[in-house]
Amino acid sequence: MSNPSRRKGILAAGNWIVDQVKLIDAYPERETLANIRRQAQGTGGSPYNVLVNLAKLGAPFPLAGAGLVGRDALGACILADCKRHKIDARLIHTTDAAPTSYTDVMTEESNGRRTFFHCRGANALWDGKFLNFTASHARLFHLGYLLLLDAVDAPDATHGTKAAAILAAAQKAGMKTSIDVVSENSDRFNRVVTPALRHVDYCIINEFEAGKITGFAVRQSDGALDTVALRHAAGSLLQMGARELVVIHFPEGGFARTRDGHDHWQSSLNLPPKYVAGTAGAGDAFCAGVLYGLHEGWEIPRCLHTAVCAAAAKLSDATCTGGMKPLKACLALAKKYRPRAAVAAES
């Protein structure tokens, strides 16, 4: 299966998380009580969100997941959800050594502010050892989130990190590779993410992560996007090793730079404030739109347009994938709400 033209589908691996979103009346002081008004359960983690979004978009190619969940109720829920969305879960293994990863998302009723309590659980143990890329028929391998996969983020004598070794193996087998990163405020980006970039075809991250990896300040002091710094950050990521494409997304839209130096901008949709039920998972929805187009061989502007429409659909629901719609319905949102004013001029 080394011939890319014979491959079809997306295999996504990494964090499998159940988000438990709780709407509370107020965030409590220590040793005091808060009331949970209502709650919802949803998907979490890069492969889980991306694959479910692709399934809901109606992707016309096979979808498969890889990772580790606990042998518990939440793990069973994830596997059942994969079956419901026709996601091949044969590479999602179970363990008694740790619980399925979950996040308690405490959302304040009055202002929408969210506080996260995360259990890394089984995700921390997954090291990718059951991956067999030569046996897979997938065309594209997506790995995320780097910085939130303890065993995969660990050092590797040959490639720098285990993640880099996994990505190198996927490329050697003839697959295209892509990554996503968690928005962690730390100094680990250079140590963990940079080695992986040497084995990545498509780097799809947000502006905060791009800035942390490259050192460019992509936001000005007033919060405005610095489009010049953003271009420099994208160029730096290509210099670090990203082979074909860097895509950076942000609330105002998305930006892509190709290996041959072509830049593309796409504004996000002009959604009314009441439309937005929650922002968690918007980046994964954007990523799903990009990967859909890349798999199908679309031009970059079409990929970016699809991505912002997919992100807009997601924003209608508080969970990460509950708002996703079929592709046609997502694209129709652009006709209803129209893109914002241009983020920056095309070069």
pLDDT at 21: 86
Across 280-306, average pLDDT: 97
Q: For residue 211, count CB atoms less than 10 angstroms from its CB and return exposed for 0-12, middle for 13-18, buried for 19 or more.
A: buried
pLDDT tens, 110-149? 877 888 899 999 999 999 999 999 999 999 999 999 999 9
Across 150-173, average pLDDT: 98
pLDDT tens, 81-92? 999 999 999 999
Across 229-242, average pLDDT: 98
Amino acid letter, residue 346: E
| pLDDT classification of 5: cutoffs 50, 70, 90 | low
Q: What is the mean pLDDT of the chain?
A: 95
pLDDT at 345: 61
- On the question of pLDDT at 344 being above 80, the answer is no
- On the question of pLDDT at 1 being above 50, the answer is no
Is 4-13+45-99+121-337 assigned to CATH 3.40.1190.20?
yes
Across 271-288, average pLDDT: 93
pLDDT at 112: 74
- On the question of pLDDT at 49 being above 90, the answer is yes
Return the beta strands (E) in 122-250 as ranges. 140-146, 155-156, 160-161, 176-181, 202-206, 245-250
What does the alpha-carbon distance between residue 200 and residue 207 come to, in Å, rounded to a whole number? 18
Across 140-166, average pLDDT: 98
- Backbone dihedral angles phi then psi of residue 109, each to the nearest 5 degrees: -60, -40
Q: For residue 207, count CB atoms less than 10 angstroms from its CB and return exposed for 0-12, middle for 13-18, buried for 19 or more.
A: buried
- On the question of pLDDT at 243 being above 60, the answer is yes
pLDDT at 346: 54
pLDDT at 347: 47
| pLDDT classification of 343: cutoffs 50, 70, 90 | confident
- On the question of pLDDT at 268 being above 50, the answer is yes
CB distance 259 to 216 below 8 Å: no
Question: Percentage of the chain surpassing pLDDT 70?
Answer: 98
Measured CA distances, 68 to 34, 126, 130, 327, 347 (Å)? 33, 6, 10, 29, 43
pLDDT tens, 54-65? 999 999 999 999
pLDDT at 114: 81
What does the alpha-carbon distance between residue 205 and residue 183 come to, in Å, rounded to a whole number? 9
140-146 vs 245-250, strand pairing mode: unpaired
**Which helix (H) or strand (E) is 74 found in, with range?**
helix 73-84
- Backbone dihedral angles phi then psi of residue 346, each to the nearest 5 degrees: -65, 145
- CA atoms 192, 193, 198, 200: torsion sign: positive
CB distance 248 to 255 below 8 Å: yes
Q: Within 10 A of 52 (CB to CB), how many other CB atoms are there?
A: 27
176-181 vs 140-146, strand pairing mode: parallel
pLDDT tens, 322-342? 999 999 999 999 999 999 988
pLDDT at 172: 97
- On the question of pLDDT at 233 being above 70, the answer is yes
State if pTM tops 0.85. yes
What does the alpha-carbon distance between residue 21 and residue 318 come to, in Å, rounded to a whole number? 8
